[in-house]
């Protein structure tokens, strides 16, 4: 809320839904904001107990996130390598689509949100092609929302798909249930008016 990353109103999602809230991680746009976010990622990752050998940041938003989280983990005594991908393969210099440390071992993917799981599937393919194991995903917000396939709603969320069908661990800093609790706490001020809209949206599109 302080950074304007979380906003309320009417926003059209990629799935064509009108969402009463919008989360834009691109607005963690200075050192202090990004550093604070990295602290929350690191705390959540270490608190989850998930084992990993390195971080991977999917282009584009995942790149600064993975770098910032790697710095924070090192500050906490957990120094691990990180890598990221280019959207287009480089045909000069070192070439290829992967940049940073060699992609090896159990890889933890760091991204902002998970909507349809498309970015996660792309990262998984890149990691497997490098001979490593995609093992976990860390995200800032789990919308806990039904995914879509071929334009149709399905019963599971993108996070559930990645966790249950692709077999990866998923940890999130916050989720839709946290957001609803936050709005309940602020029922007496201007934020409280958004509670019913977000609740109605969850009732319509929430995943079981």
Q: What is the CATH number of the domain that holds 79?
A: 3.40.50.2020
At residue 93, the pLDDT reads: 47
pLDDT tens digit string along 84-101?
998 776 554 455 789 999
At residue 90, the pLDDT reads: 56
Classified as helix, coil or strand, 121 is helix
- Give the C-alpha separation, 199 to 75, whole Å: 39
CB burial class (10 A; 0-12, 13-18, 19+) of residue 65? buried
Q: Are 119 and 111 in contact (CB under 8 A)?
A: yes
Residue found by looking up tokens 């998984």 in the block: 124
Residue among 12, 78, 90, 193 flagged as catalytic: 90
**DSSP E strands, 58-132:** 82-90, 96-100, 106-110
Q: State which residues form the domain around 128.
A: 31-175
CA–chain centroid gap for 50, Å, is 16
Secondary structure letter of residue 139 according to DSSP? E
At residue 170, the pLDDT reads: 95
Residue among 92, 106, 169, 193 flagged as catalytic: 92
Exposure on the CB side of residue 182, measured as CA atoms within 13 A: 11
Residue 81 lies in a domain: yes
- Give the C-alpha separation, 111 to 115, whole Å: 11
At residue 81, the pLDDT reads: 98
Residue 183 lies in a domain: no
Residue 193 lies in a domain: no
pLDDT tens digit string along 134-162?
999 999 999 999 887 777 778 889 899 88
Residue 160 lies in a domain: yes
Where the chain has pLDDT below 70, the residues are 89-95, 115-117, 208
> Is 194 considered catalytic here?
no
Number of domains composing the chain = 1
> Is 90 considered catalytic here?
yes
Residue 85 lies in a domain: yes
Residue 111 lies in a domain: yes
In sequence order, what are the residues at sequence separation of 6 or more whose Cβ sits closer than 8 angstroms to the Cβ of residue 197?
Answer: 8, 20
Residue 18 lies in a domain: no
At residue 89, the pLDDT reads: 65
Residue 191 lies in a domain: no
pTM across the whole model: 0.89
**Sheet bearing 96-100, strands edge to edge:** 96-100, 82-90, 54-57, 106-110, 133-142, 169-175
């Amino acid at each position: 809320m302080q950074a304007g990353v979380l906003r309320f109103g009417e926003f059209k999602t990629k799935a064509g839904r009108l969402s009463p809230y919008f989360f834009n991680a691109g607005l963690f746009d200075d050192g202090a904001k990004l550093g604070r976010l990295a602290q929350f990622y690191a705390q959540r990752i270490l608190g989850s107990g998930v084992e990993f050998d390195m971080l991977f940041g999917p282009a584009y938003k995942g790149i600064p996130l993975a770098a910032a989280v790697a710095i924070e983990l090192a500050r906490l005594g957990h120094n691990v390598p990180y890598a990221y991908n280019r959207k287009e393969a480089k045909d000069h210099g070192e070439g290829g689509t992967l940049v940073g440390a060699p992609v090896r071992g159990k890889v933890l993917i760091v991204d902002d949100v998970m909507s349809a799981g498309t970015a996660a599937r792309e990262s998984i393919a890149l990691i497997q092609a490098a001979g490593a194991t995609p093992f976990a995903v860390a995200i800032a917000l789990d919308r806990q929302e039904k995914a879509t396939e071929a334009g149709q709603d399905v019963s599971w969320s993108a996070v559930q798909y990645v966790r249950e069908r692709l077999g990866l661990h998923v940890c999130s800093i916050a989720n839709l249930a946290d957001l609803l609790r936050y709005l309940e706490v602020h029922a007496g001020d201007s934020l409280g008016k958004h509670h019913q809209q977000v609740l109605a949206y969850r009732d319509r599109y929430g995943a079981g």
